[in-house]
C-alpha cells in the first residue's frame, strides 16, 4: 500500500514528546496503514497456551481482515493458519473457540490435518495436486506460554531476544501449567493507540484507579524531582532503597527482577518486577493472594508484581498466585478490542482455592475505568479544538517510547516504499 502524501507528512512532522496528531486516532486510512505495517508486520500477542490445553483445541483471532486459526495438534504443538479454505475460500472455523479433529470445510468437505495439509478433497480428478492446496501457515512463537503470531512472510527475528531476555523472568510463574480462570472481551470506544498509550503510564492511576493503586507505591508511577519537598525527597530515597533491596532479595533466590527496557526494538518490550505495598501479595483489593495454590513451585506469595509490556499490543502482570494478560486489537479507527485473560494454577479449584469475583475484581474495574478514559480522549481528539500536547518526561516516558516506536515503524515503511518506487 502506498502512503498518501497526507499520511507521509503526518509521519514526517511528528514532534518528539508530543501526543500524535488527530488523524492518527481518527482516520480510516491511518488505521488501514496500521493494520498493514504494524499488525501485519510485527509479532502480535493473541493469547495464551492454556486457552487450548488439549489436542484438537483451537481458537480464532481476527487481526484486521485476517482470521487466524490456532490449533493444538496431537503432538501438543500449537500451529497457526489463515482460517480460509484453499478451495473457494470459505472461512473454516467460525466459532471463537472449539475442539475439532481435522479441519473440515463445511462447504464441500475439503479436510486438512493438524499440519494444515489437505488430506481429503473429493471429485477433484486425478490431476489435482492435494499437496499444493494446504492451509497457509502463520508464524507463531510461544514465549513461556504467551502466544505471539506474525502475519508477515518474514517476521522480525528479534523475537528471539525477547524470549532469551524474558523467559527467565516468566519461568518461575509457570504459565504453561496454568488454567484460564476467566476471559473478558471489551470494546473500548477509542483508537487502539489510545488504549496502548493509556496503558503506558500511571500518571492517571492515583485519581482514576482506587482499587488498582491500593498496593502500588506512588513513586513507582514516576515523579518530577523538582516538585518534591524535603520530606518527600526522603520518601523517594527510602523507596529507591527498598526497590534495590527487593530486587537483590528476589534475584538472590532466582527471580530476575531488575528493569529490562528495549521498547524501541522492532519487537519492543520492557519487563520489571515491582514490590507491592502493605506486605502486598497480589493485585487484589485486600492485597492478599486471590488463589491459595501458588503458581509453579513458588512457595512465597510476596513476589511483588512482575510486568511485561510488548509493542505493539500487550501487557501482562505476573504475581505469585495469578497472572493477568491483556491483548489489544483494532476493530475500527475508533473501536478497539481489549481481551483480558486471568490465569491460576491448573490444579486450583474455583470456590475452594479462589473466588472468581475476588480474582477478577481489580482488573475488571480498572479496565472499565481505563475504557472511560480512552473514550474521553477519543472524543477530544475528534474535536476541532484538539491540538497535540506534551508528555511528562517523568511520568510518560513509555508513552513517548510507544509513539516513537510506532512512528518509526511507519517511517521505516515509508522509506522502503520510496526506495521501491524509485526502483520501479
Q: Please, which residue, 43 or 110, has the CB nearer to ligand FES?
A: 110
Query: Which does residue 108 bind out of ligand FES, Fe ion, none, counting CB within 5 to 8 angstroms by kind?
Result: ligand FES
Q: Please, which residue, 49 or 370, has the CB nearer to Fe ion?
A: 370
Provide the angle, in degrees to the nearest 10, between the axes of the packed helices 5-12 and 397-423.
140
Q: Please, which residue, 109 or 168, has the CB nearer to ligand FES?
A: 109
Q: Which of residues 268-297 bind ligand FES (CB under 6 A)?
A: none
Backbone angles phi, psi at 388, to 5 degrees: -60, 145
Q: Please, which residue, 115 or 382, has the CB nearer to ligand FES?
A: 115
Candidates 185, 176, 173; CA nearest to 322 is 173
Query: Which does residue 241 bind out of Fe ion, ligand FES, none, counting CB within 5 to 8 angstroms by kind?
Result: none
Collapsing DSSP to helix, strand or coil, 229 comes out as: coil
DSSP percent split of the chain into helix, strand, coil, nearest 5: 35, 25, 40
x-marked contacts with ligand FES along 43-82 as a string, rule CB under 6 A: ----------------------------------------
Candidates 82, 72, 75; CA nearest to 52 is 72
The interface region with ligand FES, picked from 22-30, 87-95, 130-138, 214-222 by CB under 6 A, is 87-95
Helices then strands, each counted (H, E), the chain: 9, 17
The interface region with Fe ion, picked from 89-97, 289-297, 336-344, 369-377 by CB under 5 A, is 369-377
Q: Looking at 22, 31, 85, 255, which residue binds ligand FES (CB under 6 A)? A: 85
Q: Please, which residue, 326 or 406, has the CB nearer to Fe ion?
A: 326
Residues 6+ apart with CB under 8 A from 27: 7, 333
x-marked contacts with ligand FES along 103-122 as a string, rule CB under 6 A: --x-xxxx------------
Q: How far is the C-alpha of 68 from the C-alpha of 308, rounded, in Å?
A: 24
Query: Which does residue 370 bind out of Fe ion, ligand FES, none, counting CB within 5 to 8 angstroms by kind?
Result: Fe ion
Q: Please, which residue, 32 or 218, has the CB nearer to Fe ion?
A: 218
Backbone angles phi, psi at 161, to 5 degrees: -70, -40
Query: Which does residue 98 bind out of ligand FES, Fe ion, none, counting CB within 5 to 8 angstroms by kind?
Result: none
The interface region with ligand FES, picked from 46-54, 86-94, 220-228, 304-312 by CB under 6 A, is 86-94
Return the half-sphere exposure (C-beta side, CA atoms, 13 A cut-off) of residue 149.
25
Q: What is the largest CA-CA distance in the chain?
A: 86
Strand order in the sheet with 178-188: 178-188, 335-345, 322-332, 314-318, 305-310, 269-274, 260-262
Question: Rule CB under 5 A: is residue 370 a binding residue for Fe ion?
Answer: yes
DSSP state of 136: P
Query: Which does residue 341 bind out of ligand FES, Fe ion, none, counting CB within 5 to 8 angstroms by kind?
Result: none
Q: Looking at 90, 214, 236, 285, which residue binds ligand FES (CB under 6 A)? A: 90
- The residues of the shown chain that bind ligand FES, judged by CB under 6 A, are 85, 87-88, 90, 105, 107-110
Amino acid at each position: 500500500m502506498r502512503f498518501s502524501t497526507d499520511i507521509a507528512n503526518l509521519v514526517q512532522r511528528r514532534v518528539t514528546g508530543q501526543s500524535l496528531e488527530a488523524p492518527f486516532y481518527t482516520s480510516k486510512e491511518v488505521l488501514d496503514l496500521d493494520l498493514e505495517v504494524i499488525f501485519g508486520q510485527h509479532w502480535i500477542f493473541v493469547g495464551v497456551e492454556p486457552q487450548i490445553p488439549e489436542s484438537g483445541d483451537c481458537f480464532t483471532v481476527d487481526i484486521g481482515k485476517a482470521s487466524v486459526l490456532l490449533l493444538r495438534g496431537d503432538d501438543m504443538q500449537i500451529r497457526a493458519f489463515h482460517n480460509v479454505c484453499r478451495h473457494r475460500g470459505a472461512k473454516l472455523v467460525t466459532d471463537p473457540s472449539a475442539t475439532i479433529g481435522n479441519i473440515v470445510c463445511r462447504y464441500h468437505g475439503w479436510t486438512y490435518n493438524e499440519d494444515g495439509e489437505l488430506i481429503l478433497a473429493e471429485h477433484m480428478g486425478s490431476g489435482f495436486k492435494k499437496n499444493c492446496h494446504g492451509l497457509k501457515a502463520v508464524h507463531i512463537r510461544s514465549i513461556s506460554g504467551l502466544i505471539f503470531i506474525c502475519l508477515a512472510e518474514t517476521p522480525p527475528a528479534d523475537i528471539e531476544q525477547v524470549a532469551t531476555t524474558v523467559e527467565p523472568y516468566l519461568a518461575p510463574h509457570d504459565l504453561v501449567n496454568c488454567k484460564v480462570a476467566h476471559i473478558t472481551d471489551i470494546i473500548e470506544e477509542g483508537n487502539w493507540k489510545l488504549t496502548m498509550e493509556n496503558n503506558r503510564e500511571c500518571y492517571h492511576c492515583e485519581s482514576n484507579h482506587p482499587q488498582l493503586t491500593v498496593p502500588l507505591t506512588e513513586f513507582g508511577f514516576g515523579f518530577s524531582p523538582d516538585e518534591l519537598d524535603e520530606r518527600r525527597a526522603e520518601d523517594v530515597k527510602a523507596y529507591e532503597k527498598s526497590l534495590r533491596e527487593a530486587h537483590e532479595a528476589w534475584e538472590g533466590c532466582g527471580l530476575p527482577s531488575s528493569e529490562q527496557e528495549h521498547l524501541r526494538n522492532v519487537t519492543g518490550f520492557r519487563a520489571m518486577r515491582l514490590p507491592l505495598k502493605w506486605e502486598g501479595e497480589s493485585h487484589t483489593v485486600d492485597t492478599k493472594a486471590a488463589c491459595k495454590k501458588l503458581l509453579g513451585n513458588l512457595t512465597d506469595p510476596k513476589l511483588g508484581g512482575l510486568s511485561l509490556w510488548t509493542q505493539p499490543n500487550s501487557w501482562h502482570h505476573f504475581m505469585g498466585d495469578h497472572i493477568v494478560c491483556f491483548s489489544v486489537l483494532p476493530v475500527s479507527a475508533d473501536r478497539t478490542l481489549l481481551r483480558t485473560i486471568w490465569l491460576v494454577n491448573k490444579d486450583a479449584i474455583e470456590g475452594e482455592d479462589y473466588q472468581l469475583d475476588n480474582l477478577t475484581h481489580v482488573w475488571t474495574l480498572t479496565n472499565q475505568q481505563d475504557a472511560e478514559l480512552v473514550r474521553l480522549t477519543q472524543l477530544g481528539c475528534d474535536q476541532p479544538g484538539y491540538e497535540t500536547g506534551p508528555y511528562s518526561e517523568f511520568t510518560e516516558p513509555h508513552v513517548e517510547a510507544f509513539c516513537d516506536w510506532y512512528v518509526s515503524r511507519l517511517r521505516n515503511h515509508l522509506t522502503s516504499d520510496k526506495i521501491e518506487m524509485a526502483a520501479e
